[in-house]
Chains A and B, each alone.
Chain A
Amino acid sequence: MPTPDTASKIPVTVLTGYLGAGKTTLLNRILSEPHGKKFAVIVNEFGEIGIDNELVVNADEEVFEMNNGCICCTVRGDLVRIIDGLMRRKGKFDAIIVETTGLADPAPVAQTFFMDEAVGAKTKLDAVVTVADAKWLTDRLKDAPEAKSQIAFADVILLNKTDLVTPDELRDLEARIRGLNPYARLHRTERAKVDIAEVLGRNAFDLDRILTIEPEFLASEDHDHHHDHAHGNHDHGSHHHHAGNGLKHYHDEEMQSVALRTDRALNPDKFFPWIQDLVAKDGPSILRCKGILSFKDDPERFVFQGVHMILDGDHQRPWRADETRDSRIVFIGRNLPEEKIRQGFESCIALT
């Protein structure tokens, strides 16, 4: 839950990516650039980091189920202990970076920050950053479910090693990534070279930063070849990614996003039971969800986000006179029951 002292919490960035994608290269880049910041780094193996840093901690990646009857409510037990230990050296570092193994599911890491009160009181999840190998991503999306989850879960994606593929292959890869996750910030990189500000300090889990819910397109400046095709006005209400910006349209059979929108006010007494029931039943297949809601007779925007079964939401600010009062929700997940979700959402519209 957001608290007034959010600013004093230590931000935590989670680096994921399949084996060999370039996570360690990115990590070394973050640590070696002259930004004046100090990081505590939680890695899964010793010896890979080329930087001398006394605050490097080895993690065992122990994923524990919570005793609440939900198989998707998992936390990283090692992180609970490590963060407790690291906080004894508060003041010695500005941020924490967690590097996961190539086969790791990002969800337990993210859930640790919401499920463990002691961790959540002192640190805040900043963003999940996924590094993908341009040369091998297409293969990995076919044979490695972890790679697909890492892309779908991400807030920021680095499509790395772009020098090893042709421009056509690159566009194809971007379309595949967008098919899985149209909402992440996507950057093309070589040797994980990216402006550090695009990776750190993203506040991707901060309810106050949920400004709009629209598919993201390429954020990197090397993306000029798409600009002449890009539409000025996307149909934000349409579900799924769309091919209007020149990208090919890929629909992944397993992992999709479902985006819903209505300009009619919602009834909170219908919406909350519905969303809670939805995540209780379909939580295991919902990786991430996010929403901006307009409730009937409520002058304030309500925002929420979730990871599997965990939901976090709050009133954000009053609706401004110049903005459209509509409600938007997006789900990213595996084999999502799209029609059921759509009908459920529509049943939450307030009767006038």
Chain B
Amino acid sequence: MSDTHAPIPSLADRVRPIEAAASVVGVHFLGAIPVFVLGEEALLFAGDDERRVVAHAGAILASACDGKRIITGGDDGKLIETVSDGQSRVTASDDKRRWIDQVALGPDGAVAWSAGKTAHVLTGKGEDRSFEAPSTVAGLCFAPKGFRLAITHYNGATLWFPNTGAAPERLEWKGSHLGVTISPDGKFLVTCMQEPMLHGWRLADGKHMRMSGYSARVRSLDWTAGGEFLATSGSEQLILWPFDGKDGPMGRQPQILARAEARAAVVASHPRQPVVAVGYADGAVKLVRIDDDALILVRQADGQSVSALGWDGTGQTLAFGTESGAAGVLAL
């Protein structure tokens, strides 16, 4: 247990505190500007001057960012794009005002979102395509190369090729699949399940991988620099599944780092170094070095669960937010 050890080195006094004053549900960087996505209505730009940009008339349910723009989906049935000067515009609206609760950004400017069972893609060329999933869409992500969108739903995931007429490819596994991610090399697709476990497919041959042992549903996933590991929340430690070989984690054990009393709630990998930021359910934020499990404290535990974590594109700055509305920015 970490608290029986000598105190770990701390950078907590170098954090610039931000008063978000509302539950933080996401954090992104538009260039160098940290932007906190709040649970209701607004984005909080925390550059040299702080300002709130109202994007939705209600809850913000999902967000994604490609460094130039943030897209958000809301319970007002709107998909909103916000850029670094704080301008927001409506990218799409659900005609029945259903919740837009999944969003994703593609490598070539494409945007994906879903409401109920319908997944939409607005291609980089501005064409609107849609796909009807067998049940409510619970996760979306673009493949890193090429143009495929992974859609999770009950009993599996679908790989959809919105630009071509090719038939969607179905990956089946019994149960409810929620979040989804594809490895940076495009070889593996991993879903978070309703149960406390992950399910994975090797896309070349559809071979299955079950990754279990968690104490809670996994709600946060991130590939470490270079795609060597998949960092995951959901346990009282940081769980890293090895994806370096052609078999991924098949027949291998995960690395278990940063043991704590509280559960890891959010993880965010450093974009360049083998370092993962972990936000815990007790409010602590730590930097974890993968090679030797060395820890640096970024935020002291205070009982409010960390709910968002993010690095800027260069890995110089880390931003975090909590369920209770505290937030901070650490420049390394």
Contact surface of A with B, Cβ cutoff 8 Å: 46, 54, 57-58, 60, 62, 64-68, 75, 77-78, 80-82, 85-86, 88-90, 116-118
For B25, the chain A residues whose CB sits under 8 A away are 88
Contacts A64-B154, A64-B175, A116-B194 given; does A77 touch B61 at CB 8 Å: no
Contacts A81-B138, A116-B194 given; does A54 touch B154 at CB 8 Å: no
For B138, the chain A residues whose CB sits under 8 A away are 77, 81
Contacts A62-B154, A88-B25 given; does A67 touch B39 at CB 8 Å: no
Q: What is the CB-to-nearest-CB distance from A47 to chain B, in angstroms, rounded to a whole number?
A: 11
For A89, the chain B residues whose CB sits under 8 A away are 39-40, 58-59, 75
By secondary structure, the B interface counts as: loop
Q: Smallest CB-CB separation from B25: which chain A residue?
A: A88
Interface size bracket, B side: 20 to 34
Asked if residues A77 and B23 are in contact (CB atoms below 8 Å), the reply is: no
A351 vs B284: C-alpha distance when bound (angstroms)? 51
For B60, the chain A residues whose CB sits under 8 A away are 88
For A64, the chain B residues whose CB sits under 8 A away are 154, 175-176, 194
For A62, the chain B residues whose CB sits under 8 A away are 135-136, 154
Contacts A54-B58, A65-B175, A85-B99 given; does A116 touch B217 at CB 8 Å: yes
Q: What is the CB-to-nearest-CB distance from B98 to chain A, in angstroms, rounded to a whole number?
A: 7
A81 vs B117: C-alpha distance when bound (angstroms)? 13
A62 vs B135: C-alpha distance when bound (angstroms)? 8
Contacts A64-B175, A64-B176 given; does A81 touch B23 at CB 8 Å: no
| New A-B pairs, 6, CB < 8 Å, besides A65-B174, A88-B60 | A58-B98, A64-B154, A66-B175, A89-B40, A89-B58, A90-B23
> Is B236 in contact with chain A by the CB < 8 A criterion?
no
> Is B67 in contact with chain A by the CB < 8 A criterion?
no
A138 vs B195: C-alpha distance when bound (angstroms)? 40
Q: Which one of B39, B175, B219 contacts A88 once the chains associate, using CB atoms below 8 Å? A: B39
CB interface residues, B 67-110, toward A, < 8 Å: 75, 96, 98-99, 101
Q: What is the CB-to-nearest-CB distance from B324 to chain A, in angstroms, rounded to a whole number?
A: 10
Q: Which one of A54, A60, A75, A85 contacts B61 once the chains associate, using CB atoms below 8 Å? A: A85
> Is B193 in contact with chain A by the CB < 8 A criterion?
yes
> Is B216 in contact with chain A by the CB < 8 A criterion?
yes
For this complex, 13 residue pairs linking A to B, each with C-beta atoms less than 8 Å apart, are A46-B96, A54-B58, A57-B75, A60-B117, A64-B154, A67-B195, A68-B195, A75-B194, A80-B194, A85-B59, A86-B59, A88-B39, A116-B217
Q: Smallest CB-CB separation from A89: which chain B residue?
A: B59
A255 vs B264: C-alpha distance when bound (angstroms)? 45
> Is B116 in contact with chain A by the CB < 8 A criterion?
yes
Q: Smallest CB-CB separation from A58: which chain B residue?
A: B98
Contacts A58-B98, A64-B154, A116-B194 given; does A88 touch B176 at CB 8 Å: no
Asked if residues A117 and B216 are in contact (CB atoms below 8 Å), the reply is: yes
Most chain A beta-carbon contacts within 10 A, residue among B136, B174, B194: B194
For B39, the chain A residues whose CB sits under 8 A away are 88-90
Contacts A88-B59, A116-B217 given; does A67 touch B99 at CB 8 Å: no
For B193, the chain A residues whose CB sits under 8 A away are 67
